Amino acid sequence: MARTLELDVGPVAHGGVFVARHEGRVVFTSDALPGERVRARVIDDRHDRYWRAETVEVLEASDDRVDHVWSAASLERDPAERAGGAEFGHIRLARQRELKADVLREAFERFAGLEADPVVEAVPLGEDAPPGASDAGSAWRTRVRLQVAPDGTLGPFAARSHDVVPVADLPLAAPAVAAAAPLGQRFPGAAHVDVVAPGEGGARVLVAERDRRGKPRKPPRGEIVEVVDGRAFTLEQGGFWQVHVNAARTLSRAVQDAIDGSAFDPRAANLDLYGGVGLLAAAVGDRFGETVRITTVEADERATDHAAANLADWVGAAAVTARVDRFVQGLVADASRAERQALAEATVVLDPPRSGAGRAVIAALGELRPRQLVYVACDPVALARDVGYLREAGYGLEELRAFDLFPNTHHVEAVARLGSIVA
C-alpha cells in the first residue's frame, strides 16, 4: 500500500509541482499550493534525494485555492483517475501567473546566473470568447489531443501517467473544439484523435491510426488556414501551430517589439530558425518592409513548402528545409567572408521545441556572432540554460517578457532579446 504523508508545502518547482520536505528529503507534490498543509500519497520513492507525491486531501488550504476549473482533474477524484493537462486549475489565475514568474526567476538564477524579474502577462481571448472564459482561464485551446485506450476509449492521459481517463467535457478547449470532440465514442485500433479548430473553416477531427508495429500513423493530409492580424497562413492540418487562440498574434507582436530597430539591418542575412510555416519571419517582414532579407529554416519539408508560399510577399524571403543544428554548423564551416559579414549584421529569431536550442546550436551562433537574437521559448529551464550558453558566447540579456498562453497549466511562454557584448 502506498505511503501517505502529511506535508507543509513550500515553493513551486518547474513542472507544476511544489516542494515539501519529509525527514529532510524533498517531496515534489502535485495539486498543492505554497503555505498549505496537505495529505499526499507517495507515488515514487525510488530516489534517495527526493520522492514524488500526489495530494489526496487539503488539511489547511491557501486563500489562493479555488474550485478546480475541470472536475475531471479535481481532488474529488483519485489521483490515478485525474485528467492531465490542467495541473494549475485549482489556483486563482493571478496567483498562477505569479508562480510561473517564480519558476522563470529561479531558472534564470540557477541556469543562466542572472537576476530576472519577469511579469507573466495575461493574454485576452478575443471578442468571440464565451462570457467569463478569460476570468476562468478556459476556452483557449484551439487544438486538443485525445488519447485512445486499448479498448478504444477516448480521453486525455491521467496526470503523470499514460492511462486514458474518460471525460465528459473539455473546459480549456475553444468552443468549436469542445463541440466537435467525439467524447464518449470509441476508436478501436487508433493511437490518438486530434481536434483542430483553425481560424478559417470549421473544426476538424483527425484520427491517427496505428501501423502494424503499433506506432501512430500520420493523420490524413489536408490544409488549413490560420489568420494573424489579417494575414493568412496555410499549413498542414496536423502541423504545428500555437495552441492558444490568441498566441500567434501575441508572439508575432512580441517578436516585432523585441527587435531593436536601431540594430536591425534589412539587408543582412537575417534568420528565422525553427521557423515552421513562417509566422515569425512574416512578423519581421511586416515590421521592416517587403525588402527584408530573411531565411526561415525548418526540418519539416511540408512546413517549409508552406512557409515559402506564406512568405511570398517578401522578395528577400527564402525557406530552407534543414535541421537547424546542421544548417548553422554548415554556415560556420562554409560561409564566405562576405556571408560572414552579412551574418554578423543579422538579427536571428529562434523558436525551438520545448527542449530548447541546445549547446551545439548556441555554439554555432556564437561563432557566427549575429548582432542580436530574439529567442521564443515555451520552457523556462531550457531558455535559461541556453541564455547561460549565450552569455558564455558573449551575449547579454537585454529584454525578457513572459505570456500566460497556457492558463490553468504550469506552462509559460517567454520572449527574450540578447545582444552581442563582444566587439
Asked whether residue 274 is marked as a ligand-binding residue, the answer is: yes
Asked whether residue 372 is marked as a ligand-binding residue, the answer is: no
| CB contact at 8 A, 270 and 260 | no
Instruction: Look up 378 and say whether it is catalytic.
Output: yes
Residue entry with cell 485528467 = 83
Which residue is catalytic, options 32, 294, 378, 383?
Answer: 378
The CA distance from 417 to 171, in Å, is 34
| CB contact at 8 A, 280 and 247 | no
What is the chain's length? 423
HEC secondary structure over the chain = CCCEEEEEEEEEECCCEEEEEECCEEEEEECCCCCCEEEEEEEECCCCCEEEEEEEEEEECCCCECCCCCHHHCCCCCHHHCECCCCCCCECHHHHHHHHHHHHHHHHHHHHCCCCCCCEECCCCCCCCCCCHHHHCCCCECEEEEEECCCCEEECEECCCCCECCCCCCCCECHHHHHHCCCCCECCCEEEEEEECCCECCCEEEEEEECCCCCECCCCCCEEEEEECCEEEEEECCCCCCCECCHHHHHHHHHHHHCCHHHCCCCCCEEEECCCCCHHHHHHHHHHCCCCEEEEEECCHHHHHHHHHHCCCCCEEEEEECCHHHHHHHHHHHCCHHHHHHHHCCEEEECCCCCCCCHHHHHHHHHHCCCEEEEEECCHHHHHHHHHHHHHCCEEEEEEEEECCCCCCCCCEEEEEEEECCC
Render the burial of 2-11: b for 16+ CB within 10 Å, e for the rest.
Answer: eeebebebbe
CB neighbours of residue 124 within 10 Å: 11
Asked whether residue 242 is marked as a ligand-binding residue, the answer is: yes
The CA distance from 364 to 273, in Å, is 13
Asked whether residue 313 is marked as a ligand-binding residue, the answer is: no
Binding residues: 242, 274, 298, 351
**Which residue ranges make up the annotated binding site for S-adenosyl-L-methionine?**
242, 274, 298, 351
User: So which residues are the catalytic ones?
Assistant: 378
